[in-house]
């Protein structure tokens, strides 16, 4: 594995630089402005394929030579991209069988980006060829600091190439057609396959698709794209064994890759993060994304590869970032371990599909608030050390489980409620901690989570037996697990675990759920005598009441269940008296069960009862990164912060308060 240059070299600062969109004379202005802004790395070539290889096998590298020389001479490192996210139009004409086919059978045409099938041999060959050409030509260029393979892998296809690759993948996964039939429960609706040729991608069909097929297709897509990534990575590695290689994840509501699996294959994890709501919600989303990235990296470096300079992209409009928000969001990432702060893109395009996507240099030019903030941020970042290049850079004693497969499975049709929402559940868990100043890690159910005091399990619809055993063992050894509704009900093939829900956790939670009862209207929960008594001692036997009483009680929405106690105590009950929240002492630990959805306040109080609470400092963020403390005031008022020392950025003392929108970085005592 190649080394990430961070550490001793300071934080990376810059963005996607697409010089091919501009006349060459602008390049010189660009470099001058980059230097003014403190930019020290740019990502080049992401969408340059048609410029680099204007006809099959004919390369025009001259312009890129000049760009890299210019950047190198200015001391700006280059994160060089392979341009395979956007094959040129000539490729589409030469290889129509490599164009994406939708589930309806529509073969798409070029004219946007990402219109290819990752399983099509001509695409795979062309991608390796251009990667090799870049590796060969620029592997030794002094400006080269990193390889950026592809961009935001995330396409799917239903063509015959894809179907063939899916079948191979299924054979690998399931071992035999019989095993596949069993895993997919093809006995239902007469879907038994008697020959591999009958197995297809989930193309358009008459009515509900098979959820196990759909889930396996999601897994396949992730693995198939990962195969593409690996091929390019290996090509580049051969040229430059010491240059780190990565690819950038797109985050959002449709999650195309298994982040845990992918992260193991990159030298550093890179994410693109665009919040979808303005204001404090954007800060919450930012901390969430950064914590995910750090967790995926697992002690190796990670980098915020893309963010937007001037705006937050909401569903209806591009909302302007408030003054200072560019810096605050960037600092959030850095505080959580990012090796820098990068943007898409350096200079806002004047045309093309994303002409209204903002840039570090906006359409208005450098005489603008955005560019001034960008330049100021460059200065700020230059004063903050990079995080340690490896190891645990941010301390957390709580983890939230994250599993892309559970999310995929919850995007199936036919679930008991249309209001089941994986991302909402996980974000709520993170949000209530963030608001109390508690930094959380994310973990996969298979991970060693023994180091965490508390582990939250939101919306983990499916889980393997092995992973369920891992969680059980965690509790046995003294951990506290807080499991939310509709977790552990299915196995890895989305088959329901029988005999009472939540099948995988029934014994651990000491409950048996007889049926689900999704709610149309909110219902109140009442605390039990157990729940309200203050005499709780964690190690006490079942029946002992709680230290943090459950008053006032809760409001339940979305979901309810008929819960039977089989060892657990009821902490709060539904109007009819049935248990709604329970606690089960198991081994040396405790397993809590929340059989409904609470609002943020209720969920916060539940976590407090489970022994997890912080300081309610709304809008003020405190993160400890190795030997530094980052304090960020997201509010428009002065706020107290428990921070004292000299601010590395301003070199001024911090004495327990932060001005509106201000931040500070001090050495930990």
Residues 88-107 that bind a second copy (CB under 8 A): 88-90, 92-93, 100, 102, 104-107
Residues 479-508 that bind a second copy (CB under 8 A): 493-501
Q: Which residues contact 396 (CB under 8 A, 6 or more apart)?
A: 438, 439, 440, 441, 452
Q: What angle do CA 139, 143, 149 make, to 5 degrees?
A: 55
Question: Binding to a second copy by residue 133, rule CB under 8 A?
Answer: no
Tell me if residue 306 is catalytic: yes
Tell me if residue 638 is catalytic: no
Residues 645-664 that bind a second copy (CB under 8 A): none
Least distance to a second copy, CB of residue 269, Å:
24
Question: Binding to a second copy by residue 43, rule CB under 8 A?
Answer: no
C-alpha span between 138 and 142 (Å, rounded): 9
Question: Binding to a second copy by residue 416, rule CB under 8 A?
Answer: yes
Least distance to a second copy, CB of residue 241, Å:
29
Q: Give bridge partners of residue 14 from the DSSP assignment.
A: 41, 342
Q: Which is nearer to a second copy, 189 or 659 (CB)?
A: 189
Q: Would you state the structure tokens that stand for residue 280, as one six-digit string? A: 């404090």
Of 53, 224, 306, 405, catalytic: 306
User: What element of type H or E holds 312?
Assistant: strand 311-313
Taking residue 127's Cβ as centre, other Cβ atoms within 10 Å add up to 25
Least distance to a second copy, CB of residue 171, Å:
16
Q: Would you state the structure tokens that stand for residue 540, as one six-digit string? A: 């006490």
Among 13, 17, 47, 442, binds a second copy (CB under 8 A): 47
Least distance to a second copy, CB of residue 88, Å:
6
Least distance to a second copy, CB of residue 533, Å:
31
Binding mask 2-31 for a second copy (x = CB under 8 A): ----------------x-xx----------
Q: Which is nearer to a second copy, 11 or 374 (CB)?
A: 374
Q: Would you state the structure tokens that stand for residue 509, as one six-digit string? A: 């939670």
Least distance to a second copy, CB of residue 211, Å:
6
Binding mask 258-277 for a second copy (x = CB under 8 A): --------------------
C-alpha torsion sign, points 35, 27, 374, 345: negative
- Nearest by Cα to 379 from 4, 10, 7: 10
Least distance to a second copy, CB of residue 362, Å:
6
* Residue the block writes with tokens 């890299």: 68
Q: Burial, 206: exposed, middle or buried (Cβ in 10 Å; 0-12, 13-18, 19+)?
A: exposed
Q: Which is nearer to a second copy, 385 or 661 (CB)?
A: 661
Instruction: Establish how many alpha carbons lie within 13 A of residue 426's alpha carbon, considering only the half-sphere containing its beta carbon.
Output: 28
Among 167, 435, 444, 512, binds a second copy (CB under 8 A): 512
Segment interacting with a second copy (CB under 8 A) among 30-38, 300-308, 345-353, 544-552? 345-353
Among 1, 264, 353, 588, binds a second copy (CB under 8 A): 353
- Nearest by Cα to 309 from 229, 227, 369: 369
User: What element of type H or E holds 597?
Assistant: strand 597-598
Q: Could you tell me if 235 and 135 are in contact, meaning their C-beta atoms sit under 8 angstroms apart?
A: yes
Q: Which is nearer to a second copy, 496 or 668 (CB)?
A: 496
User: Would residue 414 be called left, alpha or beta, if left means φ above 0 and alpha means ψ between -120 and 50 degrees?
Assistant: left
Q: Would you state the structure tokens that stand for residue 556, as one six-digit string? A: 């339940």
Question: Binding to a second copy by residue 115, rule CB under 8 A?
Answer: yes
Q: Which is nearer to a second copy, 45 or 378 (CB)?
A: 45
Least distance to a second copy, CB of residue 285, Å:
17
H/E/C letters for each residue in 257-302? Answer: CCHHHHHCCCCCEEEECCCCCCCHHHHHHHHHHHHHHHHHHCCCCE
Question: Binding to a second copy by residue 438, rule CB under 8 A?
Answer: no
Question: Binding to a second copy by residue 50, rule CB under 8 A?
Answer: yes
C-alpha span between 451 and 398 (Å, rounded): 9
User: What element of type H or E holds 78?
Assistant: strand 77-81
Segment interacting with a second copy (CB under 8 A) among 167-175, 178-186, 388-396, 588-596? 178-186
Among 250, 280, 320, 547, binds a second copy (CB under 8 A): 320
Residues 516-545 that bind a second copy (CB under 8 A): 516-520
Among 1, 32, 204, 535, binds a second copy (CB under 8 A): 204
Least distance to a second copy, CB of residue 50, Å:
4
- Nearest by Cα to 341 from 317, 314, 377: 377
Q: Could you tell me if 563 and 582 are in contact, meaning their C-beta atoms sit under 8 angstroms apart?
A: yes
Question: Binding to a second copy by residue 161, rule CB under 8 A?
Answer: no
Q: Which is nearer to a second copy, 498 or 541 (CB)?
A: 498
Q: Could you tell me if 300 and 267 are in contact, meaning their C-beta atoms sit under 8 angstroms apart?
A: yes
Question: Binding to a second copy by residue 254, rule CB under 8 A?
Answer: no
Question: Binding to a second copy by residue 234, rule CB under 8 A?
Answer: no
Among 391, 414, 534, 543, binds a second copy (CB under 8 A): 414
Among 11, 257, 293, 370, binds a second copy (CB under 8 A): 370
Q: Which is nearer to a second copy, 498 or 652 (CB)?
A: 498
Q: Could you tell me if 312 and 282 are in contact, meaning their C-beta atoms sit under 8 angstroms apart?
A: yes
Segment interacting with a second copy (CB under 8 A) among 119-127, 210-218, 290-298, 603-611? 210-218
Q: Give bridge partners of residue 512 from the DSSP assignment.
A: 564
**Residue 350 backbone phi and psi in degrees, to 5:** -95, -10
Residues 562-621 that bind a second copy (CB under 8 A): 562
Among 79, 82, 119, 213, binds a second copy (CB under 8 A): 213
Alpha helices in 190-240 (DSSP H): 211-239
Q: Burial, 7: exposed, middle or buried (Cβ in 10 Å; 0-12, 13-18, 19+)?
A: middle
Alpha helices in 38-151 (DSSP H): 49-52, 62-73, 89-94, 121-138
Q: Could you tell me if 606 and 594 are in contact, meaning their C-beta atoms sit under 8 angstroms apart?
A: yes
Among 57, 62, 111, 391, binds a second copy (CB under 8 A): 111
Q: How many residues of this chain interact with a second copy, rule: CB under 8 A?
A: 114
Of 53, 152, 224, 621, catalytic: 152
Least distance to a second copy, CB of residue 616, Å:
27
Residues 543-562 that bind a second copy (CB under 8 A): 562
Least distance to a second copy, CB of residue 223, Å:
20
Please identify every residue annotated as catalytic: 152, 306
């Amino acid at each position: 594995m190649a080394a990430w240059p961070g550490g001793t070299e300071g934080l990376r600062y810059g963005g996607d630089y697409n010089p091919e969109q501009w006349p060459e004379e602008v390049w010189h202005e660009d470099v001058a402005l980059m230097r003014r802004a403190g930019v020290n790395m740019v990502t080049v070539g992401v969408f340059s394929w048609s410029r680099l290889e204007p006809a099959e096998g004919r390369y025009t590298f001259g312009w890129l030579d000049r760009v890299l020389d210019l950047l190198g001479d200015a001391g700006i490192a280059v994160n060089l991209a392979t341009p395979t996210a956007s094959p040129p139009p000539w490729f589409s004409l030469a290889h129509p069988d490599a164009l994406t086919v939708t589930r309806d059978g529509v073969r798409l045409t070029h004219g946007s980006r990402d219109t290819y099938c990752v399983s099509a041999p001509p695409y795979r060959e062309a991608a390796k060829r251009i990667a090799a050409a870049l590796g060969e030509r620029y592997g030794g260029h002094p400006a080269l600091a990193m390889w950026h393979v592809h961009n935001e892998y995330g396409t799917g296809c239903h063509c015959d190439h894809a179907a063939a690759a899916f079948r191979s993948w299924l054979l690998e996964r399931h071992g035999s057609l019989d095993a596949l039939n069993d895993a997919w429960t093809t006995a239902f609706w007469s879907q038994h396959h008697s020959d591999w040729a009958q197995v297809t991608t989930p193309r358009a069909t008459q009515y509900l698709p098979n959820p196990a097929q759909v889930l396996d297709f999601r897994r396949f897509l992730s693995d198939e794209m990962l195969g593409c990534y690996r091929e390019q990575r290996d090509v580049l590695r051969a040229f430059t064994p010491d240059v780190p290689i990565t690819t950038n994840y797109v985050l959002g509501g449709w999650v195309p890759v298994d982040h845990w699996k992918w992260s193991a294959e990159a030298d550093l994890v890179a994410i693109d993060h665009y919040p979808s709501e303005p204001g404090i919600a954007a800060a919450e989303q930012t901390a969430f994304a950064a914590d995910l990235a750090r967790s995926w990296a697992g002690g190796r470096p990670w980098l915020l590869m893309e963010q937007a300079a001037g705006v937050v992209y909401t569903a209806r409009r591009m909302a302007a970032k408030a003054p200072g928000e560019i810096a605050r969001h960037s600092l959030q990432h850095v505080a959580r371990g990012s090796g820098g702060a990068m943007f898409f893109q350096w200079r806002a395009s004047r045309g093309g599909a994303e002409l209204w996507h903002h840039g570090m240099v906006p359409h208005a030019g450098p005489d603008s608030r955005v560019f001034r903030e960008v330049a100021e941020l460059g200065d700020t970042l230059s004063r903050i050390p990079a995080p340690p290049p490896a190891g645990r850079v941010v301390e957390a004693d709580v983890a939230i489980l994250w599993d892309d497969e559970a999310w995929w499975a919850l995007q199936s049709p036919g679930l008991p409620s249309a209001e089941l929402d994986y991302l909402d559940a996980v974000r709520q868990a993170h949000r209530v901690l963030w608001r109390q100043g508690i930094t959380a890690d994310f973990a996969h159910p298979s991970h060693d989570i023994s180091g965490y005091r508390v582990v939250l399990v939101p919306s983990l619809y499916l889980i393997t037996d092995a992973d369920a055993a891992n969680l059980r063992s965690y509790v046995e050894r003294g951990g506290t697990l807080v499991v939310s509704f509709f977790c552990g009900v299915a196995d890895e093939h989305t088959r329901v675990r029988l005999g009472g829900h939540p099948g995988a956790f029934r014994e651990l939670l000491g409950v048996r759920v007889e049926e689900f009862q999704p709610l149309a209207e909110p219902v109140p929960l009442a605390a039990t005598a157990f729940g309200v008594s203050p005499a709780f001692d964690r190690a006490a036997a079942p029946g002992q009441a709680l230290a943090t009483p459950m008053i006032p009680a809760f409001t339940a929405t979305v979901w309810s269940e008929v819960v039977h106690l089989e060892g657990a105590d009821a902490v709060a009950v539904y109007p009819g008296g049935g248990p709604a929240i329970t606690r089960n002492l198991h081994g040396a630990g405790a397993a809590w069960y929340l059989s409904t959805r609470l609002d943020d306040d209720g969920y916060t109080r539940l976590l407090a009862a489970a022994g997890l609470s912080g300081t309610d400092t709304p809008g003020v963020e405190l993160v400890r990164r190795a030997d530094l403390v980052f304090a960020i005031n997201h509010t428009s008022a002065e706020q107290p912060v428990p921070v004292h020392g000299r601010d590395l950025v301003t070199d001024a003392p911090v004495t327990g308060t932060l001005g509106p929108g201000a931040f500070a970085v001090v050495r930990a005592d």
